[in-house]
Amino acid sequence: MKNITKIKGFLYICIILIFVSFIGLMPQSVYADSGLTVNNALILGEVNPGNNYTHSINVKLGTSAEATGIAIQIGGIGQTLRDQYQLLQASEDKSSYSAREYIKSDIANFYLEPGDSREVKFTLDIPKDVGVGGRYALIKVTTIPGEGETVGVITVVNIPVYLTISKTKLIHTGKIDAVSAEEAVTGKPVYILTTIENTGNHHYKVKGEVEIADSNGKLLDTVYVSLTSSIIPTMSRQLKATFIPKNELSLGIYNIKSKVTLEDGTLLDEATGTFEVKAPYVPPPAPAVVDLKPSTASALNTDDGRISIAFPQGSVLADAQISLRSNPPDQLPAAPVNHALGTTSFRVDGLTGLLLKPAAVKVKYSSADLAKAEGDPARLVLARWDEANSQWTVLKTSRDYNTQTLNTETNQFSLWAVLIGPAVSVPLVGASPSIASVTVPASNGGISWWVLAVVILLAGVIGVLLTSFILHKSKKHH
């Protein structure tokens, strides 16, 4: 009798565990409670001519939001020079790359109460004679404005539609339309603008490299523009490079050489331009400066305490002024293989050669760095840009998790960055997060069936072993 009670108890535990497991399978919600959420808010993938596709989104209103009407609009897509999306009505949408007419939604307007959600289904009918390259559109999910007396607010979520016609020739070409600079104002960086137009038939991302030289051709600096979001055919994007001169600029003309490449480094176009310094120009002050002397040890610390460099006595042969300034993370050369750029980056200037003794570099990583490393600080490393060889040197980095710092030693300086190294565990399946979302998602959430079969088999074996063990134990007690 006692054993039956025990088995019953065990069964109850199993049922509770299964219930808990089901809860675990439910989508985990971390959404803000009064916002507008759109799930599956991107249509990006390959399509075949003559085929039909469906794409479902889920529109949800937070539990503490006010009830609102929701409008679904489908239009052509426009991109501004500064990466802003515009919905083009039929009368404005003249692009031969438009997918506007291929897309229909099952509903145009609906009403949501707080906490409510609604699925909206889109059908995509791809004509047989759709042509080659990419086709693009924009779907807008819009709330109805509230009754604010002074400033009303509308919330919108854009759903970009990027379709690639499969098995067609994709042309990735581009042309620089303009290279210019904003006025050089003393105490501020000089912003250099490069406008690149997509002259191909398919979207792509670009990155930039801008060289600034004086009128004698002496290279002053090379500034990088990190990878942009995708530019669609016929649209242009303005790349903004921030040039912070290391020294004062004398009056006169300066030369700009701007190069724009694809993500893989393929050159799209290069062009030259000039800018004139018409008034005395002093660069913005570096946030941290130290006068280094051969006879004493010195430290270079930023005011916020995030970066410190300790130079030992005898690290230099002659006096030198070393400065440190933060570097915009979007102005870094591309990360090396298997690494990604973090958000902390800085530049150290003033050294003309190698240090005689290595300096100790200590960098406090930011929460944004940590977020990029998916919460694993062991993936964070320090890297230095090697200007001579145009490549990153990933440095041997030790970590202090208590103080959230990365530490290394070096005998040279230039551009520095926190990089994200590869995750320790290797993914099971090389699924890209941004492909084929136009297809109806598999009901198993994208797990391959053989993985599922192995899981069930293993679970079955464990189940048999555990059951046998428990029953064997209970028999013994009898």
SS3 of residue 64 by DSSP: coil
Three-state SS string over 346-414 comes to EEEECCCCCCCCCEEEEEECCHHHHHHCCCCHHHEEEEEEECCCCEEEECCCEEECCCCEEEEEECCCC
For residue 417, the minimal CB distance to another protein (Å) is 15
Q: Which is nearer to another protein, 28 or 216 (CB)?
A: 28
Shortest distance in whole angstroms from residue 123 CB to another protein: 18
Whole-number Å distance between alpha carbons of 206 and 241:
13
Q: b/e string for 361-393 if b means 16 or more Cβ within 10 A?
A: bbbbbeeebbebbeeeeebbbbbbbeeeeeebe
For another protein, the closer of residues 210 and 420 by Cβ is 420
- Considering the complex, what minimum distance in angstroms separates the CB of residue 257 from another protein? 27
Q: Supply the minimum distance, in Å, between the C-beta of residue 431 and another protein.
A: 5
Name the residue nearer to another protein (CB basis): 362 or 379: 379
374 near 423, Cβ under 8 Å? yes
Cα separation, 56 vs 441, in Å, equals 9
Measure Cα distances from 318 to 296, 410, 438 in Å: 11, 18, 64
Cβ proximity of 300 and 324 under 8 Å: yes
Provide the CA 315 distance to its chain's centre, in angstroms: 39
The least CB distance from residue 173 to another protein, in Å, is: 19
CB contact at 8 A, 124 and 112: no
From the list 400, 401, 392, 390, the residue with the least C-alpha distance to 421 is 392
Residue closer to another protein by CB (options 217, 427) is: 427
What is the smallest separation between the CB atom of 131 and another protein, expressed in angstroms?
Answer: 21
Cβ neighbour number for residue 144 with a 10 Å cutoff: 13
In terms of CB distance, is 305 or 445 closer to another protein?
Answer: 445
Name the DSSP class of 436.
-
